[in-house]
Chain A
Amino acid sequence: MSRKIDIMIVEPSDIIIEGLTSIFNNYNDINIIATLSDTEILHEKIISANPNIIIINPTLLNPLEKQKLNLLIQNRINTSLIALVYQYIESSSLHIFDNTIDIRAPKSSIVQTVRDCYSSQKGKISESYELSERETSVLILVAKGLSSKEIAENLHISVHTVNTHRKNITHKTGIKSVAGLAVYAMIHNLT
């Protein structure tokens, strides 16, 4: 096994935190690096602890916080979000999460979800720093000022895929802002 999966848990209930901790402690490849009971210092903690996976109770996030968290995570190619749900939650409110864990799920499936989430994440980073054809077409549309949703419609792919491409573009070019990407596109004669 190469390296450990660093996990951060954001959950108000001590019982649940203790429970998850004791489950994960049985597995050498999983390492809990931080636990928070609310979202007050969530962003600071994510930046300083740099977790691979954040398991978070979605009821702690109001729509605005959700949006801000999404913005932060979008730029972090090695951080994924898993929602920890107690009961049925409408799927549209879970769109920012990469996966979900139901608290009634058996141990093995909880661990599997974490591992799957982590390995798909490693798969996202391609070795090359050259933009792929698909990424280039996404970049051109970003540079034109289109939103992820508009780009998805334009290229007939899902918003999620567009966001993955955007993460990769930022990862490869080091450029985050739309204005910066527009300059990149112009310098490379893409527009």
Chain B
Amino acid sequence: MADLIVTNNSLILTLDRFGIPLGFGEKSVEDVCKQSNVSVNLFLMICNVYSFDNYIPDKQTITDTDLSQLIPYLLASHKYYMEKRLPHIENHLHDIADMVGEKYGKILLDFFSDYKNEFHKHFSYEEEIVFPYMQKLENGQRDNNYRIQKFVESHSNIEEALTDLTQIIYKYLPSSVMPDDSIELIFDILQLTSDLGKHSLIEDKILVPYVETLERRYK
């Protein structure tokens, strides 16, 4: 397990979401997963999505894998973004807004508050519509009012506006901001952007095909 994290540092973010505690010593991935009752295959699938842009799990692997922890994993990610990363970035942004004068400060904070609303809407849609729909199908209940295709159509890119924010910070803000503050904030945002990107890939490459196979059962 430790080797895996050394190979791709960002995988460390996935552990807590699976409820895997740190301090695993020299144990193998399989042992660590078993200890925390995590499906090894699901864990590896997510590691693969994180690590290889071209990776697409085949349908058979998806059907053969125990995906009961997928939704808890995704919910834990949402919680991490909403309760930890966004407030952290917002605090930083407030500090910068104080330094750039009222006009720029207001533009930045308004942008961010709109963004937070978008972010919130995006995740509530998944939590209130998509996840319950998938759980219904898993329990053998049909739901003719929804199709996962609707999610595919509306699954918008929420990272884009964040990347734009970094551009705005380093290209267009007046130079009264201490470079340290800007740079730190930019790193924080880029890290979140990249993790959000992986998060939506997990949804597109694992969740969507899985729900599609569930839907096919009822055809």
Complex CA–CA separation, A18 to B111 (angstroms): 51
CB pair A44 B56 closer than 8 Å: yes
Are A187 and B104 also in contact (CB < 8 A) when A41-B56, A47-B53, A64-B153 are?
yes
A184 CB contact (under 8 Å) in B149, B163, B172: B172
Complex CA–CA separation, A188 to B167 (angstroms): 14
Q: Which of A92-100, A102-110, A170-178 contacts B (4 or more CB under 8 A)?
A: A170-178
CB pair B54 A180 closer than 8 Å: no
Query: Could you tell me how many residues of chain A have their Cβ less than 8 Å away from some Cβ of chain B?
Result: 20
Are A176 and B53 also in contact (CB < 8 A) when A64-B153, A187-B107 are?
no
CB pair B54 A48 closer than 8 Å: yes
Interface 1/0 per residue, B155-168 and A, CB below 8 Å:
00000110111011
For A178, the closest partner residue in chain B by CB is B161
Query: Could you tell me how many residues of chain B have their Cβ less than 8 Å away from some Cβ of chain A?
Result: 23
A186 within 8 A of partner (CB): yes
Complex CA–CA separation, A41 to B53 (angstroms): 11
CB pair A64 B160 closer than 8 Å: no
Q: Which residues of B contact A182 (CB under 8 A)?
A: 111
CB pair A183 B107 closer than 8 Å: yes
Complex CA–CA separation, A175 to B56 (angstroms): 29
B149 CB contact (under 8 Å) in A48, A64, A174: A64
Interface 1/0 per residue, A149-191 and B, CB below 8 Å:
0000000000000000000000001111101111110111000
CB pair B167 A173 closer than 8 Å: yes
* A-B contact list, 14 entries, CB within 8 Å: A40-B56, A41-B56, A64-B152, A64-B153, A174-B164, A174-B167, A176-B160, A176-B164, A180-B160, A180-B161, A180-B167, A183-B164, A187-B104, A188-B172
How many whole Å from B207's CB to the nearest CB in chain A? 17
Q: Which residues of B contact A40 (CB under 8 A)?
A: 56
For B161, the closest partner residue in chain A by CB is A177
CB pair B54 A183 closer than 8 Å: no
Q: Which residues of A contact B173 (CB under 8 A)?
A: 187
Complex CA–CA separation, A45 to B77 (angstroms): 27
CB pair B115 A179 closer than 8 Å: yes
For A62, the closest partner residue in chain B by CB is B149
Complex CA–CA separation, A183 to B160 (angstroms): 14
Complex CA–CA separation, A188 to B107 (angstroms): 11
Q: State which residues 165-187 of B face A: CB under 8 Å.
A: 165, 167-168, 171-173
Complex CA–CA separation, A187 to B107 (angstroms): 8
How many whole Å from A42's CB to the nearest CB in chain B? 11
Interface 1/0 per residue, A138-150 and B, CB below 8 Å:
0000000000000
Q: Which residues of B contact A41 (CB under 8 A)?
A: 54, 56
